[in-house]
Amino acid sequence: MNVRNCRFLKPFGINGIVLYPFVLFADKHPSEDVVCHEQVHLDQIKRDGVLGFYTRYLKEYFAGRRMGMTHDQAYRNISYEKEAYSADVAELRRRRSMI
Ligand SMILES: [Zn+2]
């Protein structure tokens, strides 16, 4: 994980974000949940490709907005986010220890 610290994320309510190949965290010492969440996104990018990931991510977000969802609703409705939020932290911890 190519990690960077970015203090400009916090005012936007963002704890972490993958701007491939970088992972930016608002905190110098992010929680394990936040790290695992971003790890899932890295795995998704590896699985679907950089272009495939960002294209589908933005398509689903804007589709949600067009349907009248709020920003938060559209964000939570993105399939990649659903997968990342439902990820099993213990399983991710095990996989990371194998790398
Ligand atoms: Zn996410």
Residue 9 lies in a domain: no
User: What is the pLDDT, as a whole number, of residue 98?
Assistant: 57
Distance 84 CA to ligand 1 centre (A): 6
Distance 98 CA to ligand 1 centre (A): 23
Residue 2 lies in a domain: no
Distance 16 CA to ligand 1 centre (A): 8
User: What is the pLDDT, as a whole number, of residue 4?
Assistant: 84
User: What is the pLDDT, as a whole number, of residue 90?
Assistant: 73
Residue 3 lies in a domain: no
Distance 81 CA to ligand 1 centre (A): 5
Q: 3-state secondary structure string, the chain? A: CEEEECCCCHHHCCCEEEECCEEEECCCCCCHHHHHHHHHHHHHHHHHCHHHHHHHHHHHHHHHHHCCCCHHHHHHCCHHHHHHHCCCHHHHHHHHHHC
Distance 20 CA to ligand 1 centre (A): 13
Residue 1 lies in a domain: no
Residue 34 lies in a domain: yes
Q: What is the domain count for the chain?
A: 1
User: What is the pLDDT, as a whole number, of residue 71?
Assistant: 95
Residue 6 lies in a domain: no
Q: Say what the pTM is.
A: 0.86
Query: 57 is in which domain, residue-wise?
Result: 28-98
Residues 6+ apart with CB under 8 A from 98: none
- pLDDT means per 10 residues, the chain with 99 residues, are 85 92 93 92 96 98 98 96 87 67
